[in-house]
Amino acid sequence: MVTSIPLSSGTRMPQLGLGVYLVTDVAVCESSVKSALDSGYRLIDTAAIYRNERAVGRGIRSSGVPREEIFLTTKLWPSDYAYDKARAAIGGALERLDCGPLDLLLLHQPVGDVKGAWRAMEDAVDQGVVRAIGVSNFAVPDLERLLPAARIPPAVDQVELHPHWQQPDLLPFLAQHAIVPEAWYPLGHGSAKLLSEPAVVGAAASHGKSAVQVILRWHVQRGFVAIPKSTDPAHIAANIDVFDFELSPAEMAGIDALGKDRPMFRLPRWMMAATMPLARPRPLG
Ligand SMILES: NC(=O)c1ccc[n+]([C@@H]2O[C@H](COP(=O)([O-])OP(=O)(O)OC[C@H]3O[C@@H](n4cnc5c(N)ncnc54)[C@H](OP(=O)(O)O)[C@@H]3O)[C@@H](O)[C@H]2O)c1
């Protein structure tokens, strides 16, 4: 049974879900979402910029799983950040997904008119079309700028987070502000270096689990939400099979000790800004 975590919005979020970044083939995206829901997932993470919201919506609708059991997240890209553009973009996401109110809507990057977009997201909560709002890739200074202007505080910050990059500055700030850390690159993007760490491999052997499962279990026990991506039905099923064992305090400490001081991926702000006009989501499928 997948555990869930309370959000400051008053709702709860499953601690493990499916991410669909780079899954741009319509049929593959739809079948991956369906396969995840069949395997017991109840959290799906997409974004306008992934250009697969229509396929995600179709996967959800064809799964037979009641919509109210599913926690659906999408994200707004900075090209849609001014208030009016964000309002229109939220309408566009709702139309493409066609699954009713969103469970979580995130600002994808901390650039552009963040405060204008945030007001549009707060209004969407008031209107009942979005249940919780949050951010992605926001560092402490980005949150320090947003928080004083926010009528509704962010419930989640989705950031790169895995045993090799444990966000030493950000995590204490998130805890202080009741913002749930959600891990992108939870498996370090499938990093062979991470998956072959002795602390991970050792724990995997003692529990009869894979290295991937041990890392996902570490995320759960640290109180994070993790959204591993896979299009392989066997991987999808294996990745959620992490709720029948527990890492010991020593095993957790061994993995905690792998923390390094650098992320694997960093998109410079000038590049985020440069990609903004190019990145308007197009309909897919
Ligand atoms: N907010 C942001 O800016 C941002 C940025 C990046 C990502 N994300 C979100 O985070 C999600 C996950 O990130 P990610 O996809 O880049 O990295 P990831 O989940 O850390 O790693 C995905 C890689 O691991 C492989 N994998 C998954 N399960 C496996 C298993 N059981 N055994 C072996 N290999 C396995 C996948 O290959 P197979 O498909 O072959 O299984 C894929 O190559 C994205 O889909 C997206 O939703 C958000």
**What residue has token string 């829901």?**
37
> In this predicted structure, what is the pLDDT of residue 276?
56
Which residue's alpha carbon is at the smallest distance from atom 25 of ligand 1? 190
Q: How far apart are CA 143 and CA 52, in angstroms?
A: 28
Q: What is the pLDDT of residue 265?
A: 81
Domains and CATH numbers, the chain: 13-276 (3.20.20.100)
Tell me how far CA of residue 249 lies from CA of 175, 220, 231, in angstroms. 20, 14, 32
Residue 105 contacts residue 73 (beta carbons within 8 Å): yes
Q: Identify the pLDDT of residue 273.
A: 60
| Cα 21 to averaged position of ligand 1 atoms, centre (Å) | 7
What is the full per-residue pLDDT of the chain (285 aa) written as tens digits? 899 999 999 999 999 999 999 999 999 999 999 999 999 999 999 999 999 999 999 999 999 999 999 999 999 999 999 999 999 999 999 999 999 999 999 999 999 999 999 999 999 999 999 999 999 999 999 999 999 999 999 999 999 999 999 999 999 999 999 999 999 999 999 999 999 999 999 999 999 999 999 999 999 999 999 999 999 999 999 999 999 999 999 999 999 999 877 788 876 666 666 555 544 444 443
Active site residue 50: yes
The Å distance, Cα 44 to ligand 1 centre, comes to: 13
Q: Which residues of 70-93 are buried (b: 16+ CB within 10 A; e: fewer)?
A: bbbbbbbbbbbbbbebbbebbebb
CB 212 within 8 A of CB 195: yes
Residue 164 marked in a binding site? no
Q: What tokens were used for 176?
A: 């202080």
User: Of 51, 200, 230, 271, which is best to mutate to test ligand 1, by the most ligand atoms within 8 angstroms of its C-beta?
Assistant: 230
Residue 258 CB coordination number (10 Å)? 18
Considering only CA atoms, which residue is closest to atom 37 of ligand 1?
Answer: 230
| Rounded-to-integer distance, Cα 225 and Cα 75, Å | 16
Residue identifier of the C-alpha nearest atom 32 of ligand 1? 235
The residue to mutate among 46, 225, 229, 239, having the most atoms of ligand 1 within 8 angstroms of its beta carbon, is 229
CA of residue 185 to ligand 1 center, whole Å: 6
Q: In 10 A of CB 270, how many CB atoms?
A: 9
- CA–CA separation, 190 vs 279, rounded Å? 26
Q: Give the position of tokens 């555990």.
A: 3
d(CA 104, CA 247): 29
> DSSP assignment of 176-241, as one string?
HTT-EEEEESTTTTT-HHHHT-HHHHHHHHHHT--HHHHHHHHHHHHT-EE--B---HHHHHHHT-
At 277 the pLDDT is 52
The Cα 199–Cα 164 span in angstroms is 12
Question: In ligand 1, which atom is closest to the CA atom of 186?
Answer: 20
The answer to whether the CB of 19 is under 6 A from ligand 1 is: yes
Contact, 28 vs 234, CB < 8 A?
no
SS3 of residue 252 by DSSP: helix
